[in-house]
């Protein structure tokens, strides 16, 4: 294929599709660009059909550090496993692409998006969806495209929407909506927002759908110029006799599904499926049609569940469509931890635990994203036992990363600023039971944990997962979906927010023809459900606790002049380490002179604060100190006023009367009370006067003037002492005196 380039401008930004030059052995490859951000998206379709009962699609997003002119951190100096941002981007590409494939296509498909250039202005994620769609269609995949993805920002001052905003434009927005689909329907929505209204969110979705249509038109112009060879891909069709043998068990499946307990219901369904296999198929058929039989049994379960809802209006657990499962809420569930909250909705249970730390414990991000790090972190764990299963425990899977990010996004708008609450905050949500909506349970649990920890969040956040069944013109919208309604339904629509508005949203859609009118109904019903849950949470914990737990660090913030930072740190960090070792407090020093002092016990923090302020303090004339004698000279004693400042107490002021030697009155380590007499404006040298002077000791008077002069004369005569003897002090023995004009 010859090189083909399609450049276009939409909504004030420039884009480009290019193919025919790079990665020509892939089934399809497209270089897609926004501004100067450039991503190579390839699609490869396996030559072999897999005997799976699901569509084997894999999406990888490869963050290359060279794209931002950086060398990766770590020992190996190469990109390792994907960052959380990379994982989330791969999921974002997968979710709108997957539903576009025709049913029955069982060949493995692998999409790889590789960042070649990131210009620091334009994000690379949204354009990857368009690149994946174009690569698939160039390869003549059985894919319902073109598909595209856009990010919508909103300027609250002008009430204008911005398509694919730059990082700078996004900073002033109260909305970050990512929406994907085709010109005809929406397949994926994801949003973070600063408590925006349902009306604004719907307007943004409607605008986003229009924008997607324009990007699909541009992509189609590019595809029309490409020489695409049609391919007749084999679409797997199961033997019709399979469905004929399984269909008669419809009523029994409906009866098996009618049980509110998840484990009991699953047991009945699996028992029925096993009996159907045993009664309806022989061993040879089970071996030959294994995946087809499994798919047909799943289809029977789906059909029975959906028919039950459409025909009777009753769900498998007996609830109405808008009914929320029973709630069990316990803030402060655990002792000693900084904050905790147990949230249970039906058979979904999340225990969230909050930990407070110093700001220097924030999470640093080594990614291509401009963000250097974050101080609020939420992590979500989904162990096998929460669904009564066995399995390996290891690194978080993509699903866990995605659910954790959603709950983090939901709480981020209400987290207090660093100035209001100078802590790094980590919340971990442990899913202990799961039967749907576990990410929303973790959102509610996180709110409880933060409030229990005494974090002054701006408003409490609750979340709910909505579902949908659409059969022709019949539509049922569920509140608080459970697992079976997620797996067998048409939509998983999660909505989080405060009493004021939405803070986060995520939707995956399997039903084509989903309109914004249907989404509007779902948002309204979600608002009512969120309010019900929030009232139950506030009944147990109406506001953040007034004080932190005794086990949590108390952090105090002080500010010092920038030119004093070096004095506080000391050579090689010696001073600040000494303060920490002596007091037990933790100290974090910022470049602007902001210092955060953390200590579990108040006296430790106060002691560290006093030591730091002592180092940076500048003595003033007339100020009185009690200081230690740290140096003695013939002419006086040096007294330590602050950790970084000494003053001179002249010999004439150490006592009342004439003193011959300072050591007759003072010794190293003595503590004396002094007052600042004078500070030299040029050198900064400080002169002191001793308060409560003692009387000079008898016999301490200085030698007669003439004798003292004679001593000085003798000392300058060739290093000789009295009697003409040569000075034999260490380092001076046998030293030959020189004159200045003598050669060296």
Rounded to 10°, the helix 125-138/198-225 angle is 40
Residues 6+ away with beta carbon under 8 Å from 495: 463, 464, 465, 466, 502, 504, 505, 522, 523, 526, 527, 530
* Residue 60 · residue 114 · CB < 8 Å: no
Strands 424-433 and 376-381: parallel
Query: What is the number of alpha carbons within 13 Å of residue 172 lying toward its C-beta?
Result: 12
User: What is the C-alpha to C-alpha distance for residues 1 and 18, in angstroms, rounded to an integer?
Assistant: 11
Mapping DSSP onto H, E and C, the string for 617-683 reads: CCCCCCCEEEEEEEEEECCEEEEEEECCEEEEEEHHHCCECCCCCHHHCCCCCCEEEEEEEEECCCC
Nearest C-alpha neighbor of 443 from the set 465, 457, 461: 461
Query: What is the number of alpha carbons within 13 Å of residue 76 lying toward its C-beta?
Result: 4
What φ, ψ does residue 640 adopt, rounded to 5°? -80, 120
* Residue 88 · residue 192 · CB < 8 Å: no
Nearest C-alpha neighbor of 587 from the set 578, 598, 603: 598
Rounded to 10°, the helix 290-312/250-257 angle is 70
Residues 6+ away with beta carbon under 8 Å from 656: 693, 694, 695, 696
* Residue 180 · residue 166 · CB < 8 Å: no
For residue 146, is the peptide bond before it cis, meaning its omega torsion is within 30 degrees of 0? Answer: yes
- Cα separations (Å) of 541 from 470, 500, 552? 39, 19, 19
User: What is the C-alpha to C-alpha distance for residues 477 and 598, in angstroms, rounded to an integer?
Assistant: 50
| DSSP 8-state secondary structure symbol assigned to residue 720 | B
User: What is the C-alpha to C-alpha distance for residues 60 and 501, in angstroms, rounded to an integer?
Assistant: 34
User: What is the C-alpha to C-alpha distance for residues 65 and 82, in angstroms, rounded to an integer?
Assistant: 12
User: What is the C-alpha to C-alpha distance for residues 543 and 20, in angstroms, rounded to an integer?
Assistant: 60
| DSSP 8-state secondary structure symbol assigned to residue 500 | S
Q: Is 486 known to sit in a ligand binding site?
A: yes
Residues 6+ away with beta carbon under 8 Å from 517: none
| DSSP 8-state secondary structure symbol assigned to residue 616 | H
Q: Say how many C-beta atoms besides its own lie within 10 A of residue 421's C-beta.
A: 16
| DSSP 8-state secondary structure symbol assigned to residue 389 | -
| DSSP 8-state secondary structure symbol assigned to residue 730 | T
Q: Say how many C-beta atoms besides its own lie within 10 A of residue 651's C-beta.
A: 22
| DSSP 8-state secondary structure symbol assigned to residue 685 | -
Q: Is 646 known to sit in a ligand binding site?
A: no
User: Any idea how long the chain is?
Assistant: 744
Known binding positions: 486, 492
Known binding positions for Mg(2+): 486, 492
């Amino acid at each position: 294929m010859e090189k083909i380039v399609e450049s276009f401008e939409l909504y004030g930004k420039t884009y480009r599709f290019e193919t025919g030059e790079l990665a020509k052995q892939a089934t399809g490859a497209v270089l897609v660009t926004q501004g100067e951000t450039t991503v190579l998206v390839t699609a490869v379709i396996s030559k072999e059909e897999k005997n799976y009962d699901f569509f084997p699609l894999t999406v990888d997003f490869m963050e290359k550090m060279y794209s931002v002119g950086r060398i990766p951190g770590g020992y190996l100096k190469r990109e390792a496993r994907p960052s959380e941002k990379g994982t989330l981007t791969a999921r974002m590409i997968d979710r709108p692409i997957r539903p576009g494939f025709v049913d029955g296509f069982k060949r493995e498909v692998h999409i790889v998006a590789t960042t070649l250039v990131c210009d620091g202005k334009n994000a690379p994620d949204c354009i990857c969806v368009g690149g994946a769609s174009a690569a698939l269609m160039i390869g003549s995949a059985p894919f319902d495209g073109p598909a595209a993805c856009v990010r919508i920002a909103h300027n609250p001052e002008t009430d204008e929407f911005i398509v694919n905003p730059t990082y700078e434009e996004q900073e002033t927005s109260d909305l970050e909506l990512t929406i994907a689909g085709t010109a005809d329907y929406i397949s994926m929505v994801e949003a973070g927002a600063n408590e925006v209204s349902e009306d604004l969110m719907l307007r943004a979705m409607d605008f986003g759908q229009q924008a997607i249509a324009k990007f699909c038109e541009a992509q189609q112009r590019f595809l029309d110029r490409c020489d695409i060879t049609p391919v007749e891909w084999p679409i797997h069709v199961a033997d019709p006799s399979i469905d004929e043998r399984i269909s008669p068990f419809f009523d029994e499946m409906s009866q098996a599904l009618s049980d509110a307990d998840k484990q009991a219901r699953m047991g009945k369904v699996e028992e029925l499926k096993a009996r159907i296999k045993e009664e309806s198929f022989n061993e040879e058929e089970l071996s030959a049609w294994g995946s087809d039989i499994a798919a047909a049994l799943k289809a029977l379960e789906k059909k029975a569940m959906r028919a039950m809802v459409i025909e009777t209006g009753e769900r498998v657990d007996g609830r109405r469509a808008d009914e929320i499962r029973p709630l069990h809420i316990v803030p402060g569930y655990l002792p000693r931890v900084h904050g905790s909250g147990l949230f249970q909705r039906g058979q979904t249970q999340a225990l969230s635990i909050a930990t407070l730390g110093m700001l220097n414990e924030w999470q640093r991000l080594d990614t291509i994203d401009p963000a250097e790090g974050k101080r609020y972190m939420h992590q979500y764990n989904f162990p096998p036992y929460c669904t009564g299963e066995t399995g390996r425990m290891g690194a978080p899977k993509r699903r866990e990363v995605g659910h954790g990010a959603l709950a983090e996004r939901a709480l981020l708008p209400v987290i207090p600023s660093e100035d209001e609450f100078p802590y790094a905050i980590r919340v971990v949500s442990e899913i202990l039971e799961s039967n749907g909506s576990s990410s929303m349970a973790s959102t509610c649990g996180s709110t409880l944990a933060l409030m229990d920890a005494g974090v002054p969040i701006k408003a409490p956040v609750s979340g709910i997962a909505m579902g949908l069944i659409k059969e022709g013109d019949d539509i049922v919208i569920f509140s608080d979906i459970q697992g079976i309604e997620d797996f067998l339904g048409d939509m998983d629509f999660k909505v989080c927010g405060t009493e004021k508005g939405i803070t986060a949203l995520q939707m995956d859609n399997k039903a084509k023809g989903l309109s914004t009118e249907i989404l509007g109904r779902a948002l309204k019903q979600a608002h009512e459900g969120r309010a019900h849950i929030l009232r139950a949470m506030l009944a147990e914990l109406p506001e953040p606790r007034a004080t932190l737990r005794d086990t949590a660090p108390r952090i105090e913030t002080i500010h010092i002049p920038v030119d004093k930072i070096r004095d506080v740190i000391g050579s090689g960090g010696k001073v600040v380490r000494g303060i920490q070792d002596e007091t037990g407090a933790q100290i974090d020093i910022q470049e602007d002179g902001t210092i955060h002092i953390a200590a579990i016990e108040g006296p430790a923090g106060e002691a560290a604060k006093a030591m730091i302020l002592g180092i940076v303090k500048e003595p003033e004339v007339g100020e009185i100190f009690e200081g230690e004698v740290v140096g003695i000279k013939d002419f006086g004693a040096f007294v330590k006023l602050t950790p970084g400042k000494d003053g001179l107490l002249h010999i004439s002021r150490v006592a009342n009367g004439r003193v011959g030697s300072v050591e007759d009155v003072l010794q190293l380590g003595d503590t004396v009370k002094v007052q600042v007499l004078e500070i030299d404006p040029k050198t900064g040298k400080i002169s002191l006067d001793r308060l409560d002077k003692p009387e000079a000791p008898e016999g301490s008077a200085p030698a007669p003037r003439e004798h003292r002069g004679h001593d000085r004369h003798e000392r300058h005569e060739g290093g000789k002492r009295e009697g003409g003897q040569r000075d034999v002090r260490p380092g001076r023995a046998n030293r030959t005196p020189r004159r200045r004009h003598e050669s060296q």
